[in-house]
Amino acid sequence: MVKKLVKYDFKSFFRLLFPVQMIILGIALINRLIQLFEVRDSSAYSWIFTSSIVLLVIACIVCMVMTVILSVVRFYQGLYSSEGYLSHTLPVTPSQHIFAKLSVSLIFAAGTVLTIFVAICIATFGEVNIELFKAAGYLLGKGFDKIGFQMILYMLEILVYAVLWISNVLMIFYFCLSVGQLAPRKKILLAFGVLFGLYTITQIIGTAGIIIAVIAPEWFQNLYDVIAEFAEAHRYLFSHLILSGGALLQLLEAAVFFLISKTIMKKKLNLT
């Protein structure tokens, strides 16, 4: 049943995002064709080329934003609007619902990243593209020479961190929507309020921490010294711990939001 859910969501994402991704590739092609008319020290060419680059960048940003917005809208429409009446009659648990929505969102987020990558390849196709790959290969090779297999670990950790970070961002939105639907009226407004409240709380905690660290640095001096000593003695282990710790934190945060959203969906569903 989850497979069918995923398939259905996949189709609705595809219908809306695919044309946008094709537009990005089209703009990249136009950018490449403009380079046919490259003339040295021509302000007209420079203006047109720069404009096409700016257009490509804006298109990429719009696609990324659209992917997130679509994920949030599909979650709300599929589970908390009139479509939710049908969704919640299916033999699927709330966890499976959330997991299906999250999976499809992650797949299309990866698709957006791939589209942007292909667009950059098209816009630089030819000698420039080859030189870009050569430069990337050289830097990777240099990295491997310098730190060996640690490079592979770093790459894996960064990839895992990126996936967990995107999942966490989406789970925050799902959490806000789930809390929002508890209200009898103006559910979306409450969802925005929850998002704003979350942001404000994290900013307050962060700022308080910075103020304390600035006003009374001696409180943390011992801790700083221990951390600095450890980092100096075990440079690679320290950086792996930072990355893995960050990824774990993202996972824990996402898990908390997942559990709260699931509980609300299971016990406090309000589809009025």
Partner 1 sequence: MKKVIQIISVFVLAVMVSTILCSCIQLDDLKNNRAVFLNDDKTEVLFRDNLYKRIQLKGEAIIQNETYDGRLTAADVPILLAESEGSAFSYDKTADVPTLLKQYYENYSSAYDSYYTGTKVYCLESEYDRISEINSSDKFDSMYIIYSKDYSDEDMVGYNHDYQLVYEIVSEEYHDAIDRALESDTETLIDSEEGAKSEYLDLTRCDSETSFVKGIFC
User: Using CB under 8 A as the criterion, which residues of the chain lie in contact with partner 1 when the complex forms?
Assistant: 25, 29, 32-33, 35-36, 38, 40, 122, 125-128, 131-132, 134-135, 137-139
145 or 218: CB nearest partner 1: 145
70 or 122: CB nearest partner 1: 122
Helix %, strand %, coil % of the chain (to 5): 90, 0, 10
Shortest Å distance, C-beta 14 to partner 1: 14
Shortest Å distance, C-beta 150 to partner 1: 19
41 or 218: CB nearest partner 1: 41
DSSP state letters, 42-89: -HHHHHHHHHHHHHHHHHHHHHHHHHHHHHHHHHHHHHHSHHHHHHTT
Task: Decide if 32 contacts 55 (C-beta within 8 A).
Answer: no
118 or 249: CB nearest partner 1: 118
Residue 259 identity: L
1 or 130: CB nearest partner 1: 130
136 or 256: CB nearest partner 1: 136
Shortest Å distance, C-beta 146 to partner 1: 10
Task: Decide if 168 contacts 250 (C-beta within 8 A).
Answer: yes
137 or 197: CB nearest partner 1: 137
Shortest Å distance, C-beta 100 to partner 1: 28
Shortest Å distance, C-beta 23 to partner 1: 13
Task: Decide if 160 contacts 152 (C-beta within 8 A).
Answer: no
Shortest Å distance, C-beta 239 to partner 1: 19
Residue 176 and residue 190: Cα distance in Å, rounded? Answer: 8
Shortest Å distance, C-beta 58 to partner 1: 21
Residue 198 and residue 190: Cα distance in Å, rounded? Answer: 12
Task: Decide if 113 contacts 60 (C-beta within 8 A).
Answer: no
Instruction: Give the CA-trace dihedral at 260, 101, 75, 263, to 10 degrees.
Output: -20
The token pair that represents 107 in the structure block: 């797949």
Range 224-232 contact pairs with CB under 8 angstroms and sequence separation of 24 or more? none
